[in-house]
Every structure is written in C-alpha cells, then in structure tokens.
Amino acid sequence: MPVVVQEKPLTAGEIRQQVNTIQHVMQAVMIKDTHYGTIPGTKTPSLYKPGAEKIMATFRLSADPEVNDMSDGDQIRYQVKVRLVSPSGVFVGAGIGEASSNEEKYKWRNAVCDEEFDEAPPDRKREKWNKGYQGAPAYKRQQIRTEPADLANTILKMAKKRALIDAVLTATAASDIFTQDVEDLPAEYIDGDEQPQQQPSKPQAKKAPQQSTGGTGNGAATEKQINLLRVKLKQNNKTEADMCKAFEIEKLELLPFASVNDAIAWATQ
C-alpha cells in the first residue's frame, strides 16, 4: 500500500498492513550487514542507506534533497533536508541530516609515523586515549588534524544519507523496526566491547613496520576483523584490491592488527 498523506486517519488494519509490508521486505529482500545491521551493544537493528532505498522502492517513493551549506573557515558542514514524494507527487514526509568535518571520526587521523607526528605543528596534532580491546589497558594514539576540504564530498554524502534514512523512517513509521545514527557513533560511545580496538603497543625504537600472520597485538588482523572489513567494503562498493593498495599489503589477511580501525574508517568513507 502506498504511503500518502490523507485527511482521513489510517485504520489500525492499514497501519498493521504497512508494518507487515516492511517486515516482509526485511525478511525476504534485505540482507543483514548490507541493508541493515545490529551494532554491538544495541538491540534494535540500524537501517543502512541501501535498506532505506529498498523501502523507498517498496512504497514507490522518490527523494528530493535540499542542501544547506553551513561551512566556515575551519570546517566543512552541510545540513540536508530530504522530502519524500509519492509517484503522484504527494508529499509524504521529510528527514533532516547533518554532517561536519569537525566530527571526531573526520577531524583526526592516525599519524603515518612518529616523524610525521613530531614535525606537525602543536595545534595540528594530539594524543588521544583509547579503550583497550577485551579488557586490555587503555592506550594513547598519535593523531594528526585532517584537511577539511579533502572531506567535502564525504561530508555532503554523509549528511544526505542521514537525512534520507531519517525521512524513510519517519514517512513509513519504521522507527520501531529500525534505528538510525548508531552506526555513525565512535566505538567508545556504544555499550559493549565487540568493536575492534587497537592494542597498546610497547615503547620501542623507530623501525620500519613488519607484517606478521599472528592474530593479536602488533600482528595481523583476526579472521573476525577481516570478515567485518569485507562486509564494510561490500556496503560501500569498494574492493579488497583497493584496500590492499591503500594500506600497501599483498592481501587483506596481512593487514596489521593496529590498522584495523583505520581500515574500517577507510572502507566506510
């Protein structure tokens, strides 16, 4: 049944039919970890952009985005309003989304090496505490400030994605089935300890990084982490070859454990 704005209220049966339709599409068409997924530490599945597009196709809705550029000298910032309309042009709902290069995951990146960190100006670098994985001690990471202009397209797409998902959840009353935005939170903001985290490294002399086939510490990523990366690559239409080239490794299984978080960020951006 199409989702349209009517003066006459929907009956309980019509609302139930709409919810049943979404649940049926979720079970019969959507793929977990591609169209939706459950973030560790949460109960309600998060709706991803491909899943929102499937719901739009189900109810034959089209999106009409409106972009508001709120950037200034120190950040790239966009606010997007997405209006959803029916095939006959009837407005059925809207969503708002915003993204900024000042968000934690965009504002900072890990330093490539100790030399880069040492040579960076004081206001362009920092050391950030991170939670240890599975009870390991907290540790610090050396980070460098990113260039906001390099992230302009990523920020715009993220704002549009958030607005689109918000509009779909609002217009189709699917909020009780899916949640939103939890996937965009840094891992330390989410309850639970299932997100891959970097292990603290022991002080050592500067030397070229070495690769290992181990599964913990400074060795290679674990099998579970590699599988997660493959899911993220598929969700964002990227290939393993692209990631291997970006991280200068021969195959994904040789990705250093300490680079897992960076690899996830690269895949999702």
DSSP-assigned beta bridge partners for residue 68: 79
Sequence-distant (6+) residues with CB within 8 A of 188 are 130, 131
Residues of the chain with pLDDT under 70: 1-8, 41, 134, 180-219
The residue written with tokens 């900072």 in the block is 108
Query: Which pLDDT tens digit goes with each residue over 175-201?
Result: 878 876 665 655 555 544 444 444 444
Query: Which pLDDT tens digit goes with each residue over 243-267?
Result: 888 887 888 888 887 778 888 888 8
157: enclosing H helix or E strand: helix 152-172
**Domain ranges (residues) in the chain:** 213-269
Question: What local confidence, expressed as pLDDT, does residue 183 receive?
Answer: 58
CA distance linking residue 142 with residue 75, whole number of Å: 21
